[in-house]
Structure 1
């Protein structure tokens, strides 16, 4: 395969796609909007369904240097009572790791820029793509008449408001607001007897949720959600405002907020899109948030993008093995096989994430009481089955 695959976007999904394709000897050009490639955000959970992909590609040691193990999961009420507390079952080659989003991105970016088959072009604001039908090629196009080099295929990894998706699906509705916003922060040198190292914890109140977990040896990541109108902005008193909003939550959570510099508190309204029945066309497809954006309630945004990347590369490799060489692979066939294997699972993750958020943001006292009753009495085996459906997924068995 002489002509490369064009990857639009150098986020976690785009870099994972580049690394997985290059692992199968497929050349890749990654085109990134920003002149300086960097990831913002706070902490994320890297579950076994995603960590096994990255560990299998030699990134385990690098990830462990900049992350922390998640050994226990807890879900409870705002007053601190836990209804669900369970050990995280993981293998050495597929662990649960809590990690800063920027640290994960840094590991992927370093690996990509050191790979001989991956080229990263920065400062290119992609607004769409164009085909050369006669030669079966495609390229990214942008503002001021810019056009990238031709490639054999193009993958839109350009996020929630994807330009590639907009061209593939013209007239599609804008992302849907969920009715709540999320604050996130990272604090250092935090110690409190009420919060154990290795625990990933979520507490649910009336129209509010809060969570926290260690992301490395020094730092704790926290998040908080509240039902609010879309588009509200914080003032300079954001720390005091959050202390008031979450006064019903345990003192250790409010201490985390208080120890975070106001300028480092991030706020994002929560959006998603309904699942698509078809992601791509011809030699163009989508990956990650561009294909299946989901609310951050299951820890599956980045994880599902990494799954996508591994499955996409697997489909290329299968067709290569069936047809004898990469040059003979029908890219459209590889993309449609990839989409057929991923659409059902990612739609399930989108649906579960939306449902978890809806239930977690309930405000009426009776609804909150019923939610807590359900958490107390739901059989552990049922919870284990649902979590296994999410975390035990393997690309090798995801056909």
Structure 2
């Protein structure tokens, strides 16, 4: 687990160093305290858009007689008394006046994905002449195969509102809001929360739309209808372009060509426009393949949990509600890339990888049809110092492809579109001069790079941090190290990492959603992470020494809490409530205990009159006269959960007591319930809030 924190700091240093190397500090800090002018308003009018890096309304409160606008809220700070006056009507008049002065720009867009369509919509709203060239709209839409939904953060939704309020309204009505529910990281084996994220408070405080997910095809349909078929040209692949002093010409695969004032490459990670600008560049394999699936199964916690990321070593699993009675999940596993993925066998492979994880994960996999499971390898590219040359620029994945760990690829493309259209508005107002067009494109790139760089670096960091999650101490120093590892000692750095995330992540989420709290985040990163790296390294080596000595000194192993042979008396006494999950009724032979237990019968079928050995243990390692022994391989079905209640009449018995008191022990294994009822003398080792493993192996009758 020490790698978890060490790697966080190491990658943070890497990304901070990249900030210093790629951008002068003066430019970076000017980004912290500056905000772009709204091109449609008079001097002194500021637009605090969410895509602008590190903006905070409080910074501008000292300005007098300035018009300040954030999203749909426009105010004027008055000289006398510091009051506030709404000036929406006046600003609308200024916008209309600015529209009459605009010169018509000719905008060519390569790519009809989310970024290309949003830019086309924004340009159309400005009255520009727009053409979008897409090689195959069916592939972008996901026709013929399932493509997962897209997450739209509050910042991206507010940008869509600024571009076209009617379109934004359609998107919000069609989407499934997840930002008002619990979201966060959890342990993959137990399903217990590691840390939670608050996406609702920052958005509601700023008056922004709440984060949602929406079907990619639905979003595509809304944008295509808004853009119009006269602008979108399907079956039109851009293969080349030619720059001239006053125009740029695109050449299509079918031989046709079109002229425009600018060309924007929005054609994804394998961008043809990018390759023509900077040459063929190799994409970086992330080290992970991604299995994705869509299922009609809805978990019982659907009303309270938006999305949940389950952590494990070298793999992690993401589950999200996508509305309409469906769940979308992504399973990431570290393995070499493959040139071809088998159409069948993915479900079996996933059960091998995640079969011993908590019930929430295994049930989602089991309930997903084979044909709804897709696999793709995850790639990104290194950041580059510029996204364009002359009259050509890039946006979205064509400019900055990033790993999907933060779910921000689409949001960054939408924010790119809005920043670009603001810069083009300045050109249109001043006559569309050649120098103005080129400088506007470079200005767009420079203003977007700092924010994009942070998301790109954090997404890379997240992929490494998530799969280095180790809840127990692991060392490999000498032969006795195996004894220490078998003890499954909870790593104290789990709590340290949780506290660190609890302190820093709200600041990052605040800035990610609404630009608030960025100053605190920036100062924390620059002033603390550099010395913290050295301190953490020393601390972890010291801590491991102490833990190693203490653990080897005690050598205390776990004992079984309960074990007995059971016979299945009945299945689903109240009727079957869930597919592939049955409630068995059984009675033990030695202790005469009554058992009710939920079992995933697709993974482990049990039938009436069958016998099985059941063990309840706090650990998978037992102490024997021959030393520590793992019991995991001796059983066929294992669940990990928590004992949450013990019910009894009268005073609880003490060890050695002959009382006839009966007790009922209740435990939950990722949603699967267990009730064990019997004589109290057999339940003396149980305690409320106890973590335990349930292990089952069938025996011959």
User: Which position in structure 2 is the counterpart of 1:300?
Assistant: 408
Measure how far apart 1:265 and its partner are.
1.3
The Cα shift of 1:38 comes to 4.2
Shift of 1:23: 2.3
The answer (yes or no) to whether the contact 2:213–2:322 under 8 Å persists in 1 is yes
2:355 paired residue number: 247
Deviation, 1:197, is: 4.8
The answer on 1:381 being equivalent to 2:503 is yes
Aligned partner of 1:109 in structure 2 is 224
Corresponding residue of 2:196: 85
Residues 177, 37 of structure 1: CA spacing in aligned structure 2 closer, same or farther, 3 A cutoff?
Answer: closer
The verdict on how the C-alpha distance between 1:268 and 1:200 changes in structure 2, with shifts beyond 3 A counting, is: same
**Cα deviation digits, residues 240-265 of structure 1 (max 9, x gap):** 22122112322122222222221221
Please tell me whether residue 148 in structure 1 is matched to residue 254 in structure 2.
no
Structure 2: gaps spanning 5 or more residues: 1-102, 475-489, 517-701
Quote how far apart the aligned CAs of 1:143 are: 3.1
SS of the residue aligned with 2:313?
A: coil
- Contact 2:319–2:328 (CA under 8 A) maintained in structure 1: yes
Q: TM-score, normalised by structure 1?
A: 0.89
Other-structure match for 2:234: 122
In the alignment, the residues of structure 2 paired with residue 327 and residue 132 of structure 1 have an alpha-carbon distance, to the nearest angstrom, of 14
Q: Structure 1 CA distance, aligned partners of 2:434 and 2:393?
A: 19
2:284 equivalent to 1:169? no
Instruction: Sort the Cα spacing of 1:391 and 1:248 in 2 relative to 1 into closer, same or farther, 3 A.
Output: farther
1:212 aligns to 2:319 (yes or no)? yes
1:43 aligns with 2:145: no
Q: How big is the shift at 1:319? A: 3.6
* Contact 2:261–2:391 under 8 Å retained in 1: yes
Would you say how many aligned residue pairs link Structure 1 and Structure 2?
384
Gaps of 5+ in 1: 395-399
- Post-superposition offset of 1:160: 0.5
Distance apart, 1:196 and its partner CA = 4.2
Residue 143 to residue 46, structure 1, CA distance change in 2 (3 Å)? same
> For residue 369 of structure 2, what is the aligned residue in structure 1?
261
Q: What is residue 96 of structure 1 aligned with on the other side? A: 211
Deviation at 1:361, TM superposition (A): 1.9
Residue 106 of structure 1: CA displacement?
2.0
Q: How does 1:178-257 map onto structure 2 within 5 Å?
A: 178-188=286-296, 190-231=297-338, 233-257=341-365
Match of 1:137 in 2: 247
Per-residue deviation, 1:186 = 1.4
Question: In 1, Cα distance between the equivalents of 2:301 and 2:377?
Answer: 29
Farther off after superposition, 19-28 or 285-294: 19-28
Q: Once the 2 structures are TM-superposed, how far is the Cα of residue 94 of structure 1 from its aligned partner?
A: 2.4
The higher radius of gyration belongs to: 2
In structure 2, the residue matched to 1:30 is: 132
SS of the residue aligned with 2:161?
A: helix
The 2-side partners of 1:391 and 1:3 are apart by 31
Q: What does the per-residue CA deviation read over 1:128-148, in whole Å, with 9 as the maximum and x for residues that have no partner?
A: 211233xx111222335x132
Residue 362 (structure 1) aligned with residue 468 (structure 2): yes
How far the C-alpha of 1:381 sits from its partner, in A, is: 3.5
8 Å CA contact 1:316, 1:329 repeated in 2: no
Q: Residues of 2 paired with 1:99 and 1:264: CA distance? A: 18
User: What is the Cα-based RMSD across aligned positions, in Å?
Assistant: 2.4
Separation of aligned partners in 1, 2:425 and 2:473: 53
> How far 1:330 sits from its partner (Å)?
2.3
- Partners of 1:109 and 1:295 lie apart in 2 by 26
Q: Which residue of 1 aligns with 2:529?
A: none
**Which residue is equivalent to 1:67?**
175
Alignment partner, residue 160 of structure 1: 269
Structure with more contact order per residue of length (Cα contacts < 8 Å, sep ≥ 6): 1
Matched with 1:397 is none
**Change in CA separation of 1:198 and 1:20 when aligned onto 2, cut-off 3 Å:** farther
User: Quick check: 294-303 or 263-272, which moved more?
Assistant: 263-272
Secondary structure (helix, strand or coil) at the match of 2:404 reads coil
Q: How far apart, in 2, do the equivalents of 1:125 and 1:235 lie?
A: 28
Q: Deviations over 1:263-286 (max 9, x none)?
A: 221211111111110110111000
Following the alignment from structure 1 to structure 2, what is the Cα–Cα distance between the partners of residues 110 and 254? 39
Offset from partner CA, 1:59-94 (integer Å, 9 cap, x none): 232113321111231211102110212432224642
The 3 A distance-change label for structure 1 pair 35 and 272 is: closer
- Asked if the contact 1:31/1:120 (under 8 Å) is kept, the reply is yes
